[in-house]
Chains A and B, each alone.
Chain A
Amino acid sequence: MLSAPGLLFFILGCAALTAPYMTLAANRIVAGDGFRAWQLAAPGPSVLALGVLAAGLAMGVLGAWPTLRVIGAALGLGALIWLLTLGSTTLLDGAGEYARVSPAAGFWCLVVVLALLLADGLTNLSPGPWARLGILGVILGLLAALLTSGLLSQLSIMQEFSSRKPAFFDALSRHLWLSLGSLLLAAIIGLPLGIACYRKPRLQDTLLPALSFLQTIPSLAMFGIMIPLLGWVGDTIPGAQAIGIAGIGFAPAFIALVLYSLLPVVANTAAGLGSTPPAAQEAARGMGMTFIQRLAKVELPLGLPIILAGLRIVLVQNIGLAVIAGLIGGGGFGAFVFQGLNQTAIDLILLGALPTVALALVAGVLMDILVALTQPHTRHVSESAP
């Protein structure tokens, strides 16, 4: 039995090989020349690495054996890294002091194709939440080992990293503060609002459209509104500037993220509480539970997966949106992205963009695991009762 997605991944992977795999540039700003995957090393290692890559993609076609597909994806990813290390040594050999090598379109396409193959294979294995947590841990461990091993240190993006190590970790912590902090504040404000909406449908009818409207304001326009507003607050209210409230910087970015987060939190809270079976709600009232008791014992536990799904949307959305904070001095990985844009240094842009993508992916997977863990037992019990 052939796997249809596997076949697609194989074709896409082969097509990606025809694109340049790496580029060599004279310095970090000019555009480089592309090299194809078979131009990166001596014939022997090249053939071996490409053979392993092709074998990995081919294993992905075996629909009946998801384990083999996962192994194939891992082999393919290994071959990609190996080609990268082979290529950086070959290309830099005698290329001059300021020369830079970078992965190019072909490499990135292959990474995406193999990552999709890996995800598809793992999904077919349908691991439980704890197994998924374990797999995530293994993948992150391998990634950390690879990045700290020095194997990739010749790549341009790693050189950008090593010259900005303290700034990078500052940006990471600022980025996490922006996205997790705004999530927390949005939850603190949004959960009670969601509960109020659930209790008073009339409130829901007015509040949700207002929050939807906030959601439609483009982020740049939101900052535009925030800058004079917070600038005025910082200037007029004593002590406001001391805690960091000003027209630009952390405060406007943080507030904008909180405002964008409110709709998913409030809407999913109201929907989650409303998803309780009506008979269970009626029984809870009928047996003499107060509103708070019904909320705590029945509606919140049963609605938790939907409420968490709302928080998941917010977290992933905020990790992405927080990049914009870089534009108004809010810090985070966005700072690298906008510096890189100004300097036309692609690898500096990637130094901001890639960790953002990784953070969003990891956060999404972690929240999915949490959602799965909070599903009531009943959902995965078969209906085989006599």
Chain B
Amino acid sequence: MIEIDQISKVYDGKAAVDAVSMTVETGTITVIVGTSGSGKTTLLRMINRLEEPTSGEVRINGVVTTSMPGHILRRRIGYAIQGHGLFPHHTVGRNIGAVPQLLGWSKEKTRARVDELLDLFSMDPAQFRDRYPAELSGGQQQRVGVARALASRPDLLLMDEPFGALDPIIRARAQTDLRRIQRTLGSTIMLVTHDMEEAIHLGDRVAVMDGGQLVQHGTPAEIIQNPATAFVADMVGGVDRPLRLLSLIAVADIVEDGPATGTPIAAEASLRDALSACLWSGRDALPVTRGDAIIGRVTLPAIRAQAQATA
């Protein structure tokens, strides 16, 4: 559990981060979202003490972060940034093994961990281990950057706009990968972005920052349904709100008995996908499958009820 307690950062008498408190549960993704200058990056950098807080403290699993030297703290916290920051003169293997090396792991243990991570990120270790970053595509570089941040099994992974430099298609795949890997490893992640879509897609919790203050902290659904301020409402986007809400709910949640024809939809798909399929094929109901078996149907009125009822 990460506890951020009344943390502030003041530059030249002006508060970049103003008395922010929040708690991050172990094994969840918290996305900090805000415009540039909102203090979101400063907040993130105070957690691993790349910036020293002016006041307040951070506790990781009950331990105050100032109880150890900054570089020792940072070795326990993964850190992935925009533009990956890979060392251009080191191979992929050495890049991923950088923190284990700092921690004094044995060569064999580091190598095994590097291969394990490359496998996890769907990159063949034999093929990629000895390549240099310049020999990888942008998406591969980004994956190596995240793999490096995860190498020492850190208590916490901090990510600062990790997908900012990727094109939209690669970014969507990287987000899905991150979600999958986070579920597999049970990592605790704090991620900074300016993209509300990304926040809703990735976050178990979303924290909205504005002018150095934490204006709202809650589940994506809460943020969409009850924006605390006009700024948050603006961030979640007026007209898209029902669609964003639908994107958070799985078809499986409202599946019902009854007949339906045509191409089926998977139970794991979102209601937004189901709505889209209904509109595109002109149907009022879609068969729902789990694996190969049809388990029921999802209907347009039921989808509409979900978009409405809570709004």
Q: Please, what's the 1-or-0 string for A279-321, where 1 marks a CB less than 8 Å from any CB in chain B?
A: 1111111111110010001100110000000000000000000
State which size class the interface on A falls in: 20 to 34
Give the distance in Å from the alpha carbon of A385 to the alpha carbon of B136 in the complex.
5
Kindly state whether residue A378 has any CB partner on chain B within 8 Å: yes
Q: How large is the interface on B (under 10, 10 to 19, 20 to 34, 35 or more residues)?
A: 20 to 34
CB-based contact A283/B81 at 8 Å: yes
A residues in contact with B243, CB < 8 Å: none
Across the interface, A288 reaches (CB within 8 A) one of B74, B134, B145, namely: B74
Q: Which residues of B contact A242 (CB under 8 A)?
A: none
Pick from B71, B76, B88, B149: contact of A280, CB under 8 Å: B88
Say if the beta carbon of A277 comes within 8 Å of chain B. Answer: yes
- Pairwise interchain contact B88-A302, C-beta atoms closer than 8 A: yes
Q: Which B122-175 residues sit within 8 Å CB-CB of chain A?
A: 132-137, 140, 145, 148-149, 158
Q: Is the CB of A279 within 8 A of B85?
A: yes
Question: Is A386 an interface residue when CB atoms closer than 8 A count as contact?
Answer: yes
B-side contacts of A293, CB under 8 Å: 102
Asked if B48 is at the interface of the complex by the 8 Å CB criterion, the answer is yes
Contacts of B79 in A (CB 8 A): 283, 286-287
A384's nearest neighbour on chain B, judged by CB, is B135
Complex CA–CA separation, A301 to B94 (angstroms): 14
Please count the residue pairs between chain A and chain B whose beta carbons lie under 8 angstroms apart in the complex. 82
Residues of A within 8 A of B134 (CB): 377-378, 381, 383, 385
- Report whether A285 and B84 are in contact in the complex, using a CB–CB cutoff of 8 Å: no
A288 and B81 form a contact (CB under 8 A) = no
Q: Are A287 and B99 in contact (CB under 8 A)?
A: yes
CA distance A302 to B149 in the complex (A): 21
- Indicate whether B14 reaches chain A with its CB closer than 8 angstroms: no
Q: Do A286 and B148 have beta carbons less than 8 Å apart?
A: no
- Distance in Å from the Cβ of B174 to the closest Cβ of chain A? 16
Q: A283-B79, A381-B132 are in contact. Are A288 and B102 (CB under 8 A)?
A: yes
Contact present for B89 and A377 (CB under 8 Å): yes
Q: How far is the CB of A16 from chain B (nearest CB, A)?
A: 47
Contact B135 A287 (CB under 8 A): no
Within 8 A of A (CB), among B46-98: 48, 50, 70-76, 79, 81-89, 98
Q: Evaluate contact between B137 and A386: CB separation under 8 angstroms.
A: yes
B232 to chain A, nearest CB (A): 29
Please tell me if A376 contacts chain B, counting CB pairs below 8 Å: yes
A292 to B: closest C-beta gap in Å: 10
Nearest-neighbour CB distance to chain B for A306, whole angstroms, equals: 14
**5 closest residue pairs by CB, A with B:** A283-B85, A288-B75, A286-B79, A288-B74, A279-B85
Interface of B with A (CB < 8 Å)? 48, 50, 70-76, 79, 81-89, 98-99, 102, 132-137, 140, 145, 148-149, 158
A-B contacts, 7 listed (Cβ < 8 Å): A282-B50, A284-B87, A286-B79, A289-B71, A376-B88, A378-B88, A381-B135
- Beyond contacts A287-B79, A301-B89: 16 other A-B pairs, Cβ-Cβ < 8 A, are A279-B83, A283-B145, A283-B148, A284-B85, A285-B50, A285-B74, A286-B48, A286-B85, A287-B75, A288-B70, A288-B74, A288-B75, A288-B76, A293-B102, A378-B133, A378-B134
